[in-house]
């Protein structure tokens, strides 16, 4: 038996909030102008009130609205898979499980928060949502969620991904979304970047600035972010909650959890429900956030206040950062090209609750191809980071002869990333 399924009655009823269990209170976000702690009304031009309340919530459980839970049933619970053929290929005694978020209709975990965010916007009468996207997973998810709840969707996609993954744009269009390469000439900030760097390949920081500018200059529009913020991470905790139930069905519990790390939402989704048990002293578990060497936020960034976007329009967040103007190489894992990190993940790392690790692009593709040959699923380049981390843990266990249980999150499939694989197979990465 490779796959552990759950029935739809087991789709979680609540999001689990790690905030009340953190080692220390979270540093407050600061207003970018006054540098004073934000109050909820500061965020109202860009987010609906319900999400602002979740962003600042310290309640341990947040109920999932019935309509959102119903929407999750389009694809959840996602399977938990024992990667037996990968274990065999590695010759390890370690058990490797992965939570397969790639079965989401849009191809990644991003739909978990997109559905919630669009729902809350719709409830407050918002008609249009602007956002950025890196590799396109988030933009696709938000497009579909907007289609589902009847909102207009406009997406600024980092130019390097826009060009290397043309099918992503078509998929956003198919769901009714509009997608622009960023930097674009549609915003003042985009025009400024293009004037200074006409060949700019873009970054998540720039695309976020463009999306926020679009938001505040259009009527009845709000902004949506696919990672980093507390409420986004909160929505993703349904991943780890399901994994706990599925592992319990197999009589198992992980020694190590591995997630890829860009802004933090996938890592949070798979690990936070387990880390809550750890922080409460109930369980012992390691959690490893894996990032690209070319954008080593957690492993080489500074822990300080910084803006979430390049233009400095967002609140200042207390986080690991490479500096808001950091321009990462145009790697294929476009979803991980972010200069900052989620404030919650940052604090957990700073306090030593979790670990972080960086890999280069070649070794993550190598891990992805090994996984694809064993399990048949072609993983997104982002997910390849988690796979590489899990493989390394399995090889350490092989060396030491320990029978460890490793859990990682397959954040998405790589069906729109075949150009990256082609380059890797041709030896050009």
Sites of contact with a copy of itself (CB under 8 A): 1-3, 5-9, 73-75, 85, 103-107, 111, 144, 147-148, 166-167, 170-171, 173-176, 369, 372-373, 375-378, 413, 415-416, 418-419, 421-422, 425
| C-beta neighbour count of 222 within 10 angstroms | 25
CB closer to a copy of itself, 171 vs 336: 171
Exposure on the CB side of residue 202, measured as CA atoms within 13 A:
28
| Cβ at position 90, least distance to a copy of itself in Å | 16
CB closer to a copy of itself, 7 vs 199: 7
| Cβ at position 148, least distance to a copy of itself in Å | 8
CB closer to a copy of itself, 232 vs 410: 410
- Nearest CA to 259 out of 348, 181, 146, 154 is that of 348
Exposure on the CB side of residue 397, measured as CA atoms within 13 A:
21
Round to whole Å and give the CA distance between 19 and 22.
Answer: 5
| C-beta neighbour count of 411 within 10 angstroms | 34
| Cβ at position 367, least distance to a copy of itself in Å | 13
User: Rounded to whole angstroms, what are the CA distances from 279 to 20, 60, 286, 405, 408?
Assistant: 10, 13, 12, 20, 20
Round to whole Å and give the CA distance between 372 and 367.
Answer: 9
CB closer to a copy of itself, 76 vs 357: 76
| Cβ at position 328, least distance to a copy of itself in Å | 25
* 9 contact partners, CB below 8 Å, separation of at least 6: none
CB closer to a copy of itself, 2 vs 400: 2
CB closer to a copy of itself, 79 vs 315: 79
| Cβ at position 426, least distance to a copy of itself in Å | 9
Q: Output the CA torsion 86→90→91→92 (10° steps).
A: -80
| Cβ at position 110, least distance to a copy of itself in Å | 12
Tokens representing 38 are 């934000």
| Cβ at position 66, least distance to a copy of itself in Å | 13
| Cβ at position 164, least distance to a copy of itself in Å | 12
CB closer to a copy of itself, 81 vs 345: 81
* 290 contact partners, CB below 8 Å, separation of at least 6: 258, 259, 260, 261, 356, 357, 358, 359, 385, 386, 388, 389
Work out the widest C-alpha separation in the chain, in whole angstroms. Answer: 61
CB closer to a copy of itself, 107 vs 343: 107
């Amino acid at each position: 038996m490779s796959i552990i399924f759950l029935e739809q009655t087991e789709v979680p009823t609540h999001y689990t909030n790690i905030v009340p269990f953190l080692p220390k209170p979270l540093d407050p976000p600061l207003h970018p102008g006054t540098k004073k702690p934000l109050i909820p009304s500061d965020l109202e031009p860009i987010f609906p009130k319900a999400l602002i309340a979740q962003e600042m919530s310290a309640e341990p459980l947040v109920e999932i609205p019935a309509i959102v839970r119903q929407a999750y049933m389009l694809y959840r619970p996602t399977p938990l898979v024992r990667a037996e053929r990968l274990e065999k290929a590695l010759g390890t005694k370690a058990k490797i499980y992965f939570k397969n978020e790639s079965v989401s209709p849009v191809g990644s975990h991003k739909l978990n928060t997109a559905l919630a965010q669009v729902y809350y916007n719709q409830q407050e009468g918002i008609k249009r949502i602007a956002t950025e996207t890196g590799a396109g997973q988030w933009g696709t998810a938000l497009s579909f969620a907007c289609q589902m709840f009847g909102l207009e969707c406009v997406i600024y996609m980092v130019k390097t991904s826009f060009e290397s993954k043309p099918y992503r744009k078509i998929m956003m269009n198919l769901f009714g979304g509009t997608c622009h390469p960023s930097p674009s000439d549609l915003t003042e900030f985009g025009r400024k970047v293009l004037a200074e760097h006409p060949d700019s390949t873009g970054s998540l920081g720039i695309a976020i600035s463009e999306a926020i500018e679009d938001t505040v200059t259009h009527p009845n529009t709000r902004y949506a972010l696919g990672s980093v913020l507390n409420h986004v991470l909160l929505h993703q905790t349904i991943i780890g909650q399901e994994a706990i139930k599925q592992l319990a069905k197999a009589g198992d519990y992980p020694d190590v959890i591995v997630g890829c790390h860009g802004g933090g939402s996938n890592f949070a989704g798979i690990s936070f429900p387990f880390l809550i048990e750890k922080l409460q002293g109930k369980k012992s578990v390691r959690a490893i956030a894996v990032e690209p060497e070319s954008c080593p936020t957690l492993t080489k960034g500074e822990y300080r206040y910084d803006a979430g976007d390049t233009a400095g329009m967002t609140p200042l967040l207390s986080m690991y950062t490479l500096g808001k103007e950091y321009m990462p190489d145009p790697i294929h894992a476009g979803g991980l090209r972010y200069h900052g990190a989620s404030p919650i993940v940052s604090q957990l790392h700073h306090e030593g609750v979790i670990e972080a690790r960086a890999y280069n692009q070649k070794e993550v593709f190598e891990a992805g191809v090994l996984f694809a040959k064993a399990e048949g699923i072609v993983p997104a380049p982002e997910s390849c980071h988690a796979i590489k981390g899990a493989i390394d843990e399995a090889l350490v266990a092989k060396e030491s002869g320990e029978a460890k249980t490793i859990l990682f999150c397959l954040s998405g499939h790589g069906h729109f990333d075949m150009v990256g694989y082609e380059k890797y197979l041709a030896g050009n990465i």
